A and B are shown apart, each in its own frame.
Chain A
Amino acid sequence: MEKILLRNIDAPDSRTLAVYRARGGYRALEKVLSEMTPERLIDEIKASGLRGRGGAGFPTGMKWGFVPKDSPKPKYVVCNADESEPGTFKDRLLIEKDPHAIIEGTIISAYAIRSHTAFVYIRGELVFGASVLERAIEEAAAAGFLGKNILNSGYDCDLILHRGAGAYICGEETGLLSSLEGGKGWPKVKPPFPATHGLFGCPTVVNNVETLASLPWIVNEGAARYVAIGTEKSKGTKLFSVSGHIKRPGVYEVDMGYPFKKFLEEDCGGVANGKKLKGVIPGGASMPVLRADELDGVTMDYESFQAAGTLLGSGGVIVMDETTCMVRAAWNIARFFAHESCGQCSPCREGCHWMEKIFQRIEQGEGKPGDLDLILSVSGNIMGNTICPFGDAAAMPAAAFIKKFRAEFDRHIAEKRCTVSAGQ
């Protein structure tokens, strides 16, 4: 498998401009500025089939295409580096090891929509990552890849690094924009979409780190080479972050369509300590869990994960072995969403805490008959009833844990204790 996103990370000093350039860095930007109109660039990315890697999987070229060309307002591009989905740490690796690929991708994205001001919104906790990006932005500006008249093309673009301050919801694009406007990270009702009414009411594109880091390769090698990788609806490569009870955790770059079981057993070395697999969350904590017996024939792409009843999401693969108490795991995730709900929509604000309390009492041996149906009812009343996808992200895993491991939940309630015991 060819490495597109991780092509540079093992090179010594990969984060420096000198090494990035020696490995072909900023050639794509030169090509775009000297040979391609924004329209041609958008067409090329549409042809590549690249879909947003933040979780939603929306086609990148199409997203750019929604930005009005003739708007008198300024236009903005934001690189979403607010990586906070539990189980996901791929963007952090790119930020720390290959910041120039992200910067080059961000300038390319800005050029595509004729924006002259771009931001990187990085989560506040990633202090080291922010310092790496800051240094890289300074290097890129000093070398003429940012600022006025980039590479004598007449095109101007500034890039501003902005640190969040600890809030999962700011990874949601409209929550991010509210935060960047100086307020609470409250998501906004869509429509209108950011493409027409984004940052300060101006046309804005928000792209994930991994999406942007894919762009230089696609521009250099051409859309045709990118579409040759992957499946019919999932093109190119995808980063998967692997954690939990797995022998070799870490970030892996995989051709879309790669067999999931083979990936876990061979590439990642299988379940740690010779234990058996019990369940795996394939796309970050927001996504429905799969039981071990549901993995046959599943491949790592948007359509196969969906057919299996879950979603690719951010590619955060959380592996749980046979000693894992699923009640405890479900409570942990419910607690996460209760903590992170922004409090704007009542189904989510009330429902997330309600689900967490019920999972907690079941886990602590105080569960009642009917508790599981109550959680399913609360979850069902959150689904689709909030202004942003957070509600669904909280509701889906809660329902999936119960549906997939109902017998274990029933036993935990009946016996008023854990019968699996993992000591998590």
Chain B
Amino acid sequence: MALEFSQASLKRFDEIVGRYPKKEAAMLPVLYLAQKEFGYLGAEAIEYVAGIMGVPAARVYGVVTFYTMLNMKPIGRHHIQVCRTLPCALAGAERITAAIKAKLGIQVGETTPDGKFTLSEVECLASCGTAPMIQVNDEYYENLNEQRVGEILDKLK
């Protein structure tokens, strides 16, 4: 069966589109909604969003591939994103990445076999004064060291 929004998401879709002076401006919030509902934005999801937004699928594909927070592939339940940019690097971000790799047994860009964790390195997250830091899904964890990052991973279900 082809992908489509639930009734609740369709209602939300109408609310989102209604907020903007033009429908196409709602592209990013609609893609967030689709990503939340479908888990990731694969070819089917892109086709579906193109249909309800009334634009060619190529345009949606261009948008999805442009932004780092829109995922074309499934990712783990907890997306661990280590900031690697200069202020975090000066504060030891590489040691944080190494500790996570060792603990989870995966490399950057990989997902644990149980689908629980995906590890990524990302660019500056505006948390330079509390470096090093990671973002796990929507949460920031700041002022980290190897021990604290281990404790954070242990608490994630």
Contacts and interface: CB of A to CB of B under 8 A. Distances in A.
A181 B25 contact: yes
A125 B26 CA distance: 18
Contact of B123 (A92, A180, A182, A340): A340
B124 A85 contact: yes
Nearest to B60: A182
B127 interface: yes
Contacts, number: 147
B32 interface: yes
A147 to B, nearest CB: 13
A86 B124 contact: yes
B83 to A, nearest CB: 9
B131 interface: yes
Contacts of B140: 128
A166 B83 CA distance: 13
Contacts of B52: none
A241 B128 contact: yes
Given A124-B69, A285-B85, A424-B89, A182 B25 contact: yes
A329 interface: yes
Most chain A beta carbons < 10 A, residue from B27, B70, B126, B130: B126
Nearest to B124: A86
A165 B70 contact: yes
B129 interface: yes
Given A85-B124, A182-B55, A333-B86, 12 more contacts: A84-B124, A84-B126, A124-B67, A125-B126, A126-B126, A127-B139, A162-B25, A165-B32, A166-B67, A184-B62, A241-B129, A249-B130
25 contacts: A74-B21, A84-B124, A86-B87, A87-B124, A89-B128, A91-B126, A92-B126, A127-B139, A128-B140, A165-B31, A166-B68, A167-B67, A181-B25, A241-B128, A244-B86, A244-B128, A245-B90, A251-B129, A285-B86, A329-B86, A332-B85, A336-B85, A336-B123, A423-B92, A424-B89
